[in-house]
């Protein structure tokens, strides 16, 4: 089941003018340094670790903590009223291999996301800028393809929840063709963003796919073993 990027009804009245005025004033005085570090917007799809195949589109807004660690805020859309639905951490193989086996099982790879064209970095769609942006995106994917991600969603928007209910849900990534309706989900995303997964896939053919650690992507391995 796909998730609409149009925000569903969220309980409560419109934000009062007084609150807007106070927030505007605060934004001119306070220092929002952590959010100023955000440097990349990525769009992809996550699936529930305990229910592989049920998926959610996620807009990642990411920042580097170090060369080996990234942290991302996840929203259901790129719009001004987007709902914050989760968080993701990404680490390099160097750090991933230092983790205990049980911890490594909570993390997922990004190889399929990158090579399939599912993972994109939305940007300009004007013909004069598209080629240059594509080069920059491909360079970014060379870094992302080797990272391992640990992601939790806090708001199950795909089932229509009006608030973030229940416990956080461990999510994972798709790892192969046939795990969900790729064309429906990714095709619809491309139409909205002006992206093109087929073009992205073609441009990434030269990116070398690293060997994925055996402890990663456990949701799909457990599902395969249970069939």
pLDDT tens, the chain, 227 aa long: 444 344 457 777 666 665 455 555 555 666 667 777 777 899 999 999 999 999 999 999 999 999 999 999 999 999 989 999 999 999 999 999 999 999 999 999 999 999 999 999 998 877 778 778 888 999 999 999 999 999 999 999 999 999 999 999 999 999 999 999 999 999 999 999 999 999 999 999 999 999 999 999 999 988 777 65
Contact 174, 45 (CB under 8 A): yes
Runs of H (alpha helix) within the chain: 17-29, 33-36, 93-96, 101-104, 111-116, 127-144, 182-193, 197-203, 218-226
- Give the other-Cβ count within 10 Å of 180's Cβ: 19
Distance CA 176, CA 117 (A): 12
Give CA 121 to chain center in angstroms. Answer: 10
* Residue closest to 137 by CA, chosen among 175, 194, 188, 94: 194
Number of residues in the chain: 227
Q: What is the pLDDT of residue 1?
A: 40
Q: What is the pLDDT of residue 125?
A: 75
Q: What is the pLDDT of residue 6?
A: 40
Q: What is the pLDDT of residue 71?
A: 96
The first and second tokens of residue 171, run together, are: 């999510």
Give CA 182 to chain center in angstroms. Answer: 16
Contacts made by residues 211-216, CB under 8 angstroms, sequence distance 24+: 212/109, 212/111, 213/93, 213/96, 213/97, 213/104, 213/109, 213/148, 215/101, 215/104, 215/105, 215/107, 216/96, 216/104, 216/105, 216/107, 216/108, 216/109, 216/148
């Amino acid at each position: 089941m796909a998730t609409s990027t149009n925000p569903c009804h969220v309980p409560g009245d419109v934000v009062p003018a007084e609150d807007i005025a106070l927030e505007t004033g605060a934004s001119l005085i306070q220092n929002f340094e952590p959010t100023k570090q955000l440097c990349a917007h990525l769009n992809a799809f996550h699936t529930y670790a305990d229910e592989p195949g049920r998926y959610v589109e996620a807009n990642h807004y990411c920042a580097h903590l170090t060369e080996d660690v990234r942290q991302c805020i996840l929203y259901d859309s790129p719009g001004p009223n987007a709902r914050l639905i989760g968080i993701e951490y990404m680490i390099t193989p160097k750090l991933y291999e230092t983790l205990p086996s049980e911890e490594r099982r909570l993390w997922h790879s990004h190889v399929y996301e990158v090579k399939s064209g599912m993972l994109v970095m939305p940007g300009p769609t004007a013909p004069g800028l598209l080629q240059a942006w594509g080069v920059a995106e491909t360079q970014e994917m060379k870094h992302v393809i080797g990272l391992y991600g640990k992601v939790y969603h806090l708001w199950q928007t795909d089932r229509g929840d009006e608030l973030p209910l229940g416990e956080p849900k461990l999510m994972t990534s798709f790892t192969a063709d046939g795990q969900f309706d790729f064309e429906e989900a990714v095709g619809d995303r491309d139409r909205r963003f002006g992206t093109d997964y087929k073009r992205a896939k073609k441009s990434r053919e030269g990116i070398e796919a690293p060997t994925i650690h055996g402890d990663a992507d456990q949701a799909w391995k457990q599902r395969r073993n249970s069939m």
